[in-house]
Structure 1
Amino acid sequence: MSLKRQVASSLFWVALSQLFGSGLTLVTSLIVAKLLGPAALGLVGMAGLAIAALQYFQNIGFDAALIYRRDEVENASHTAFVTVIASSLVVYLTAVLAAPWVALFFREPAVTPILRVLALTILISSVGRVPAILMERELNFRRRILPELTANAIGSGTAIALALSGVGVWSLVWGQLIGTTLASALVWFVTSWRPRLRFRPQLARELFHYGKHIVGSQTLIFLITNVDNAVVGRYAGDAALGFYSFAYNLSNRPATQIASVLTRVMFPALAKLSSSAVEAAEARARYYMTIVHYVTWLTAPIAAATILFAPEFIYGLYGPEWAPAITPLQLLAIYGFVRSIAANMGSVLRAMGKPHWLTAIAIWRLATMLATLYPVTKLWGITGVSWLSAIVAVVDFVISATLVGKVVDAPWRAYARILIPTLAAALVAGLLAHWLYPFLPLAKTAWRLLAAGVVLVILYGALVWLADARLRAAVAAGFAYLRRWYRRC
């Protein structure tokens, strides 16, 4: 199968997984937030913050190193398997021992048992990590995705059922634990690779030499994207963190999940190009700008809808007690949109052997956040934190795009040709849909919001269709592919 067809197939399966998984997660979050309230979400957010921090040290960058590696992949895989499990055990024990200190930091004793149970996900997920990465390396996302789909469905269903049964905050904990266990177990049913307890120090050093930059940049990115949660939870309390994390997840999940579909496929695809094709430079630029185009098409209307309809959504579905989440929801939609585009820049730099550039960008962002976050939080609360996150994300986009332009042919005029008409179409469609919203003949807010969303999508699609020749060509190619597939069936 050609690389182009591999990429197309991978995009389909990853999109299916992300759409299904993120949809379930979003529905679960909305239902559980309604049932449990912001304080419970804040408690799980505090424990989840610690777990997410420790997970960056779980595979010590070996996943990206395996995808990038050119030789001795089989032996490197066995070495990575042993190393990842060993490091995960250390990280798990660290989480268990550090749980009381995390609770002390947040001034919430209830965080200790929650964190200790959630820490099991670190150990459990390590068992299936390497075979999953090997499937991604070969762009075999069809098999890679099946365990994710099953685990997401059962984990989300468990969390909702337990929340409805009155289990409280533990419904989210057990849902995550069951989902992680299933995902790690089921991956072994779809892969033919079997590990050997073989460890080669030289291969481990080579994997770590590449992976250390990934760990460094990812750890810094984690700190950047979560230091706000830590400061809000510490100085504003669990309820404020519940409002903020609710707004963050709701505004960021659609945009970042769509971007993740493309990013997961883009890195291994570009890594293959960077080592084989003579015309790789042109191919990389073409793939990259196509991805930027697709991400912008999909995420611009989501950001516009979130910004314009946030008050109607919060007041109509959650009531005035959730009003503090409205402005953060709107501001973080800008953050999510910019982040969705910038996320693909990291794939380019990693595939081109420039992970240290990502580390440098992340250091700048972290320094900026650390210098400004505390005074902003004390003066303006979660609204100020949301403004800060949006501004830093825009500046980061400018820096990242400049660096990407040094390794692929991606000038600023290429971004302008994509962003300006797409954002204009999303804004016009969003404003028209928002103007029509009060006149929609539907009594329930949920149905009215859904109808307004349909109107926005139709208007946006029509405007972009008229303005964007590439969209028309892509749709035509998609229908042609479906016709060929139908004839073969």
Structure 2
Amino acid sequence: MTEPESRDSAGPAGSVGRSAATGAVWLTVQKWAVRLSGFVTIAILTRFLGPEDFGTVAAASTVLPFFYLLADLGFAAYIVQVDRTDRRMLSTAFWFSALAGALLCGVIVAVAPLFGLVFDSDEFVPVLQVMSIAVVFTAVSSVPTALLRREMRFRALAIQGTIAALVAQVVAIAMTLTGLGVWALVGQALATQLVVAVLAWFAAGWRPAFLFSRAEFTTMTRFGSQVLGVEFVAMCRAWAEAAIISGVLGIAALGYLNIAQRLVQIVQDLTGAAVVPVSTVAFAKIRDSVGRLQAAYLRALRMTYALLTPPLTFIAVGAPLIIPIIFGDGWQESIPVAQVLALAGIMVVGATLDHGLFYGLGKPGRWFTYALVIDAITVTVTALTARSGLVAVAFGFLAVAVVATASRWFLVARLIQASPGMTAAPFIFPAVSVLVSGAAGWGVLTLTGELNSFVRLVLVGLTVLLVHLVVVRLLVRPVIDEVAGFLRRSRRSGTGRLRLATKEGS
């Protein structure tokens, strides 16, 4: 890779579509494998660990991403979308990230007591200090992972993520059963990052040279600073929220909120985790064609809504049964929080796609401005509602989600040269679906009170899904054809690669 490597041309729409479809399917399959096995892990952990343990690790997890960002400086995002890469650019990015990661790990160890004063927890400081090792693992794997994303090798990324998560879950269970308490969660986090880093290096097949270019560093920093700004604001928001909630309601309340957020995040990952990494690359490849870009965005938005709306509606209705079944007794305070957060999750479904759109089109600065405003509003609302309890905080998140969604309609419309009505129209059918399928699911939940909890949950889930499919068929029937086409493209691409591999092998 000593000579410049050109980005693949956009090519025919089918080529990009097949690559995006295949990547999305692989990443989705990975999330299903990880999350389904994770249900078993979390069911075990919540029976041995308390809200304080989860709250402590959740608090540390709000601090670390800030240092992840400083170690990467947005260079990975630059590598994914830039037209050309060469060995000098990639080596410059790697050596900066590796050195920064090592230095920042030491900084975290030194300043951890200061963060401990904010969260007022005895275990927080040593937990954060040990978890700081993850910054090094993340930094050294940044460039190899970016190369895999750039080349749309999502199959490799999916396999890496699955192996890493399964290894980490085994580590967490083993440490929990040996009585290590909160350190089981720490071990899980570190094992995940370590395995991902090792596998990324093997899969990428790239090695850095002893090169460093000041010009390349300046160019990447100019772009990366905007990406860094977006992520920095998000991390500050998460840290501020955690500090406010733990300070006003206690570290246990942060644990209850963390479990509710995990439940919603699991559902989002199972159906929409592939959106950002795949869409960023796909949009970057067709950004020079306004017509193709508009069509691809609206199609992807409709499909995202169609896939994410039913499971989140299911959480909003079935949380009173889901949380006791999965997490056991003692987590009832997470139930109403999870229900409200699921509704907020439906409102911001399009945010993941919009994130990929702005980055893929090389406009992270605009997304930074949007994120700065919305995150500032979120922290303010959290501060105002915290004294009224976790449920009030959750409703505050929901209110902000409404404002954020409406504002993105205008921002995206300007970016893709469309009207706000065009970008807002796809939200109509999920709104109708939530009202109708949610009401039907609630009715089933109420009428089946005498049945076994698991049976009731299955009936609620089937009801929500069937009613959602009816709404989709009546209001946006083309979505069904689009999803079918998406799967066909993925299958054809996978079959073609299998035939090529067989031919080469023979």
Normalised TM-score (structure 2)? 0.88
Aligned residue runs from structure 1 range 190-201, under 5 A: 190-201=203-214
Inter-partner Cα distance in structure 2 for 1:333 and 1:349: 25
Shift of 1:443: 5.2
- Kindly provide the CA deviation profile for residues 213-270 of structure 1, in whole angstroms up to 9, marking residues without a partner as x: 0000111122224421221112221111111111122123322563331111111111
> Equivalences for 1:148-167 in 2 at 5 Å?
148-167=161-180
Please, which runs of 5 or more residues in structure 2 have no aligned partner? 1-10, 500-506
Q: Does 1:473 align with 2:481?
A: yes
> 2: CA distance between counterparts of 1:253 and 1:227?
23
Distance 1:73 1:395 in 2: 42
Q: Does 1:84 align with 2:113?
A: no
Is 2:62 the partner of 1:62? no
Per the TM alignment, residue 438 of structure 1 is displaced from its structure 2 partner at its CA by 5.2
Aligned partner letter, 2:77:
A
Aligned residue in 2 for 1:406:
414
Q: Conserved in 2, the CA contact under 8 Å of 1:346 and 1:358?
A: yes
Change beyond 3 A, Cα 1:103–1:128: same
Q: Tell me, what secondary structure is at the counterpart of 1:196?
A: coil
Partner of 1:189: 202
* 1:72-115 deviation digits (Å, cap 9, x = unpaired): 43321111111111111122111111122222221112112111
1:395 counterpart = 2:395:
no
| 1:20 shift after superposition | 2.4
Which position in structure 1 is the counterpart of 2:462? 454
Partner Cα distance (2:490, 2:382) in 1: 50
Task: Please tell me whether residue 140 in structure 1 is matched to residue 153 in structure 2.
Answer: yes
Structure 2 residue matching 1:406: 3-state secondary structure = helix
Q: Is the alpha carbon distance of 1:478 and 1:290 closer, same or farther for their aligned partners in structure 2, counting shifts above 3 Å?
A: closer
Q: Which aligned pairs between 1:88-487 and structure 2 lie closer than 5 A?
A: 88-255=101-268, 258-274=271-287, 277=288, 280-314=289-323, 321-378=330-387, 380-437=388-445, 444-477=452-485, 480-481=488-489
- Cα distance 1:168–1:349, how it changes in 2: closer, same or farther (>3 A)? same
Structure 1: distance between partners of 2:343 and 2:86: 41
Structure 1 220/482 Cα, relative in aligned 2: closer, same or farther at 3 Å? closer
**Which protein has greater RCO, CA pairs closer than 8 Å, 6+ apart?**
2
Unaligned runs of at least 5 residues, structure 1: none
Any conservation in 2 of the 1:256–1:336 contact (CA below 8 Å)?
Answer: no
Deviation at residue 26 of structure 1 after TM alignment: 4.7
Maintained 8 Å contact 2:93/2:143? yes
- Per the TM alignment, residue 362 of structure 1 is displaced from its structure 2 partner at its CA by 2.2
Specify the code of the residue in structure 1 equivalent to 2:300. Answer: I
Tell me the distance in 2 between the aligned counterparts of 1:9 and 1:420: 28
190 and 479 in structure 1: CA distance in 2 versus 1, 3 angstrom threshold: closer
Quote the RMSD (CA, aligned, Å): 2.5
Residue by residue over 1:32-85, the C-alpha shift from the partner in whole angstroms, topping out at 9 and shown as x without a partner, is 223312111111112222222322222010011111222343321111111111
C-alpha separation in 1, matches of 2:213 and 2:495: 49
Contact 2:302 2:479 in 1 (8 A): no
CA distance in 2 between partners of 1:45 and 1:14 (Å): 25
Change (3 A) 1:476 1:4: closer
Cα distance in 1 for partners of 2:490, 2:221 equals 43
Given the superposition, is the C-alpha separation of residues 479 and 296 from structure 1 closer, same or farther in structure 2, using an over 3 Å criterion?
closer
C-alpha separation between the residues in 1 aligned to 2:297 and 2:486?
19
Larger displacement relative to structure 2 (150-159 or 472-481)? 472-481
Q: How far 1:302 sits from its partner (Å)? A: 2.0
Q: Partner of 2:367: helix, strand, or coil? A: helix
1:34 to 11, 32, 47: 47
Contact kept, 8 Å, 1:328 with 1:383, in 2: the verdict is: yes
Q: Describe the superposition over 1:413-432 as per-residue Cα deviations: whole angstroms up to 9, x where unpaired.
A: 33454222233234322322
Question: Structure 1 313/145 Cα, relative in aligned 2: closer, same or farther at 3 Å?
Answer: closer
SS in 2 for 1:322: coil
Partners of 2:316 and 2:484 lie apart in 1 by: 32
Equivalences, count: 484
TM-score, normalization: structure 1? 0.91
Query: What is the CA-CA distance between 1:125 and the residue it aligns to?
Result: 2.3
2 CA distance for matches of 1:188 and 1:303? 36
Segments ≥4 residues shifted beyond 6 Å? 485-489
Aligned equivalents of 2:51, 2:25: Cα separation in 1: 35
- For 1:170 and 1:199, locate their aligned partners in 2 and report how far apart those are by CA, in whole Å: 39
1:397 maps to a residue whose letter is: T
2-structure distance, mates of 1:57, 1:286: 36
Q: Is the 8 A contact 2:256 2:334 kept in 1?
A: yes
